[in-house]
Amino acid sequence: MDMFEGPAVRAELEMRLKAAGLDPADPNVGAITAVVSKYFAERTAEVLAKVNEVLSQISPDELH
């Protein structure tokens, strides 16, 4: 899932890392960023799957 991998997201993350006093170019920071991004992508996918499951159980008539 590239929701957490786009250039705009990367730029915002780098800005926040710098504001926190961390160097985004540091290999350790990069490794942690990759792990956290993957984690949030997986969690988001799980939540979206659950939402779709719930929505699929609702008939269109129930939405009105």
The structural domains of the chain, with segments of one domain joined by +, span 2-63
Please state, for a pLDDT cut of 90, what percent of the chain lies above it: 55
How far CA 27 is from CA of 24, 30, 33, 34, 50, in Å, comes to 8, 5, 10, 10, 35
Residue 62's pLDDT is 75
CA distance 4 to 63: 31
Asked if the model's pLDDT at residue 5 lies above 70, the reply is: no
CA nearest neighbour of 14 among 30, 35, 36: 30
Asked if the model's pLDDT at residue 56 lies above 80, the reply is: yes
Please state, for a pLDDT cut of 70, what percent of the chain lies above it: 89
pLDDT tens, position by position, 27-40: 999 999 999 888 98
CA distance 30 to 37: 10
Question: In which element (H, E) is residue 30 found?
Answer: helix 27-56
Residue 2's pLDDT is 59
